Amino acid sequence: MPKTSELNPPRIIVEGVRKTYTLRHTQSFKETFVAWIRRKKTSTSFQALNGIDITVGDSEAIALLGYNGSGKSTLLKLVSGVLRPDAGRILTRGRVAGLIEVGAGFHPDLSGRENVYLNAAILGMSKDEIDARFDEIVEFSEIGEFIDTEVKHYSSGMFVRLAFSVAIHTELDILLVDEVLAVGDAPFREKCKTKIREIVAAGKTLFIVSHDLGMVSDLCSRGIVLRRGEMVFDGAIGDAITTLKASTR
């Protein structure tokens, strides 16, 4: 049984969610027309998620486990609103921030400072909120004096540190993390983990996708195992990892 607080309503409700991808084989009007004339199929469908029910409460840290193609990232994208479910419904309460792709909104020709503002705004922060947290973001990223340098001159490590730092400092109630914790060197990863623990301790909800089982068992209390779009386990993280290891792709 998931631990949902008796007093507070849940943060995320996933109810009977199904997601089917339609893979189109035609890329233009012409191809569509030719395929239609030849009575070939213009698309095939692929069931990415089927009948998923999850309720997540306040200050829960949940790990979404599964092998490649199990539908983890799809589920995370559905919760973030990037994708829409084909059936069922998803409801969220509060601000959702996604650490889904580090640096998706970064522009190489802009300085680090400008990128911080741009990305924080993309993640839903207002100017005042960014102003208030700017120093904290720069300090966490360890970029220091290079903050006014164009991002294209950054090393890849600097780039991800800054991007991650922006994302983790956004004002949020629900944090979605997809495979991005594998960034930076060991000391920085350690720092990120500490920060994430702080976020959970502050009563925020964490929804994390990762193949790094060691880190997941460290950060999360509850695990959900997906296999080929079906939910096969929902419970304590230790048992979830055991279930995952016993299952096949």
Give the residues lining the site for another protein (CB under 8 A).
1-2, 4, 9-10, 13, 15, 21-22, 24, 27-30, 53, 55, 77-84, 89-93, 96, 98, 100-101, 104-105, 107, 109-110, 114, 117-118, 121-123, 126-127
The CA distance from 67 to 59, in Å, is 26
| Nearest-approach distance from CB 124 to another protein, in angstroms | 8
91, HSE (Cβ side, Cα atoms, 13 Å): 9
Cα 155 to Cα 163: distance, rounded to the nearest angstrom = 12
Select 27 or 68, whichever has its Cβ closest to another protein: 27
> Helix 127-141 to helix 156-168 angle, to the nearest 10 degrees?
140
Question: At closest approach, how far in Å is the CB of 218 from another protein?
Answer: 26
In the block, tokens 């799809």 appear at: 74
Rounded to a whole number of angstroms, the minimum distance from the CB of residue 9 to another protein is 4
Question: Which is nearer to another protein, 84 or 249 (by Cβ)?
Answer: 84
- Reference 237, options 106, 64, 20; nearest CA is 64
Q: Of 94, 69, 88, which Cα lies nearest the Cα of 176?
A: 94
Give the nearer residue to another protein in terms of CB position, either 142 or 235: 235
Pairing of strands 230-236, 222-227: antiparallel
Is 101:176 a contact under the CB 8 Å cutoff?
Answer: no
Q: Judged by CB, which is closer to another protein: 68, or 248?
A: 68
Q: In this complex, which beta carbon is closest to another protein, that of residue 34 or of residue 245?
A: 34
Shortest Cβ 234–another protein spacing (Å): 8
Q: Closest approach of Cβ 107 to another protein, in Å?
A: 6
Q: How many CA atoms lie within 13 A of 16 on its CB side?
A: 3
Report in angstroms how near the CB of residue 115 gets to another protein at its nearest.
9
Return the number of the residue (142 or 230) whose C-beta is nearest another protein.
230
